[in-house]
Amino acid sequence: MAIWFITGCSTGFGHETALAALARGDKVIATARNPDDVKDLADKGALVIALDLSWPEEKIQEAVKVAIEPFRSIDILFNNAGVNIIGALEEVSTKQARALFDVNFWGHISVTRAILPYMRAQKHGTIGFSGSMLGWTGMSCVSTYTATKWAIAGLVLCLREEVKDFGIKVTVIEPGYFRTQVLGAAKPLFPEEGMEEYKVALDQLRTLVSTVNGKQVGDPEKAAKVIVEALTGEGAFEGKEVPARLVLGADAVGLVEGMLDLQKRSLEEWKSVSASTDFTVAE
């Protein structure tokens, strides 16, 4: 039996993963900005607490400490919570961009810092971060959100090395398009008054969202099953090291394969120029 701490449990991967963990008999601390949104998890035995990743770090860490107290340890942390915003770099205000990073990046850091001491003391633990296939590429007018996912991927690659000697495993889960509420969120995704210069690009994204939403091929329940197996080291992951970057969805696999091929071709094309900047070795 594992003890989980999962952020962002009101919908999507957080909710489905909490359900999957509870179904296997694990203990789950399920967080949401509004605990009323996860009453069904409480009914199934989860400890539900209020947690908003936009809170100051001290408040986040105090909430985590209080939640963990009854268990005295945490085996698995799933940093799942996140928010989205669409708009060109010029359209998204600095205030909006900082608010996005506060949740998608700094909030995860605050929770992780609060839980790492428990994992170090017990000499084991697994930390999963919610990333995106956009952490491998770029898309017009989603620059701020995409930047948070690249930042998380970079954080994971470093943190993985920092804590491996303590028996702690770290991975970032990078899904493609799944049938969650991310594209139909209560908060508006698009700027109320966009710039005319970016209207064509934004209209294309509006069309994409309206076309894709509700028809995504990714199944959140199947994804949750894989996430639970990956973070518990069971099923397909038994006896194997969890990958640093776990891509989910056939669309994400195709995108990453294409990006790796493109990067390899680009590196090969410019290799001689790149290498020409070294000091000349004296003969």
Query: Is the pLDDT confidence value at 141 over 50?
Result: yes
Instruction: Specify the long-range contacts of residues 192-198, CB closer than 8 Å, at least 24 apart.
Output: 194/87, 194/88, 194/91, 195/88, 195/90, 195/91, 197/88, 197/90, 198/87, 198/88, 198/90, 198/91, 198/141
Question: Alpha-carbon torsion 175, 84, 90, 55, what sign?
Answer: negative
pLDDT band with cut points at 50, 70 and 90 for residue 186: very low
Sheet holding 47-50, edge to edge: 47-50, 27-32, 3-6, 76-79, 125-130, 168-175, 245-248
Mean pLDDT of 222-232: 97
Q: Rounded to whole angstroms, what are the CA distances from 241 to 172, 226, 232, 259, 280? A: 13, 14, 11, 24, 41
Q: Which of 210, 211, 218 is CA-nearest to residue 190?
A: 210
Mean predicted lDDT score pLDDT of the chain: 93
State the residue for tokens 């449990």.
9
pLDDT band with cut points at 50, 70 and 90 for residue 166: very high
Q: Which of 118, 145, 177, 198 is catalytic?
A: 145
Indicate if 145 belongs to the active site.
Answer: yes
Query: Is the pLDDT confidence value at 183 over 70?
Result: no
Query: Is the pLDDT confidence value at 149 over 80?
Result: yes
pTM over 0.85: yes
Query: Is the pLDDT confidence value at 187 over 60?
Result: no
Q: What was the pLDDT predicted at 227?
A: 98
What are the structural domains, with CATH classification, of the chain? Answer: 3-275 (3.40.50.720)
